Amino acid sequence: MLEYGGLRLKNEFGNNVFAYQERKPDPKLWVPKLISAWLDQLSLGDQPVFAECTSQGEVQLFSGLQDFLFFEKQWIPIYLFDNHNHALAFWYREYFKKTIQKRISLIHLDQHSDMNENPFSIKEENWDLICDFTHNCCNVGNFIFPALNSGLVSEVQQIRSEYALLHFHIPEQDYIFDIDLDFWAEEMGIESLEATLEKVKNLISSAKLVTIATSPYFLDQFKALALIHQLLD
């Protein structure tokens, strides 16, 4: 069934490492459940999925989506979720479903590279272990190298500015299009919203697989939902 999520992170691993000590005695984060549903089921949840401390040491909790969504648009698998590391599991989910093959190219649209070093590597490729690896061995900034090191992804093309996006040439070979909606965060200074949205729509329509993160720590989630509807409605 390749089910995902619907669990709490309790130990000091994965995204739960952030502000873990400061959140004691109950430092838990929620991972929403993946459901097959269209955009009318997209909504915000009220449980913390990410935590961090301010420069003054104050703990901030961030909620994300009520559920992670999976659906197909013009036969292209699309996943909507909050913290970006979940993308790794969803790439593997489509690999296990034989939608994509190994050594596929990854196009990564994001404010950040998400290519921090990860001391862990994928030792065995089965669904339960991939889920566990995603939850406990990856965080929002270090989930790409495991996909490269396992051979699932052959290369990463980074798009991290408006200029780079608008001048990006859609490749002829198969690719995963991985989107972090914080690309449109205020600090990115996007000048032409419509032009960037149109280019992203074109990239979506040519992809073999699309994964979209709402990134609660980096972007207002109401804005994230509005962007999703602009891209996919």
pTM, two decimal places: 0.98
HSE on the CB side for 11, CA within 13 Å? 5
Task: Report, as an integer, the average pLDDT of 137-143.
Answer: 98
Position 115: which residue type? M
Task: Report, as an integer, the average pLDDT of 87-112.
Answer: 98
Res 16: pLDDT? 98
pLDDT per residue as tens digits for the range 171-216: 999 999 999 999 999 999 999 999 999 999 999 999 999 999 999 9
At residue 129 the predicted structure's pLDDT band, cuts being 50, 70 and 90, is very high
Indicate the SS3 state at residue 53: strand
90-97 long-range contacts, CB within 8 A, separation 24+ = 90/4, 90/209, 90/211, 91/147, 91/152, 91/153, 91/176, 91/209, 91/211, 92/125, 92/127, 92/130, 92/152, 93/2, 93/4, 93/127, 94/208, 94/209, 95/152, 96/2, 96/127, 97/2
CA distance 56 to 160: 29
Please state, rounded to an integer, the average pLDDT across all residues of the chain: 97
Q: What is the domain partition of the chain in residue ranges?
A: 67-232
Task: Report, as an integer, the average pLDDT of 58-68.
Answer: 97
pLDDT for residue 57 is more than 90? no
Tokens of 178: 């991985």
Q: Topology of 67-232 in CATH?
A: Arginase; Chain A (3.40.800)
Position 8: which residue type? R
Res 89: pLDDT? 98
The share of the chain scoring above pLDDT 90, in percent, equals 97
- Strand (E) positions, the chain? 7-9, 29-31, 34-36, 44-53, 59-65, 68-73, 76-81, 104-109, 153-159, 175-180, 209-213
At residue 1 the predicted structure's pLDDT band, cuts being 50, 70 and 90, is confident
Res 167: pLDDT? 98
The share of the chain scoring above pLDDT 70, in percent, equals 100
Res 215: pLDDT? 98
Res 136: pLDDT? 98
Judged by phi (left if over 0) then psi (alpha if -120 to 50, else beta), residue 34 lies in beta
pLDDT per residue as tens digits for the range 74-99: 999 999 999 999 999 999 999 999 99
Crossing angle of the two packed helices 86-96 and 127-136, in degrees rounded to 10:
170
Q: For residue 209, what are the β-bridge partners?
A: 176
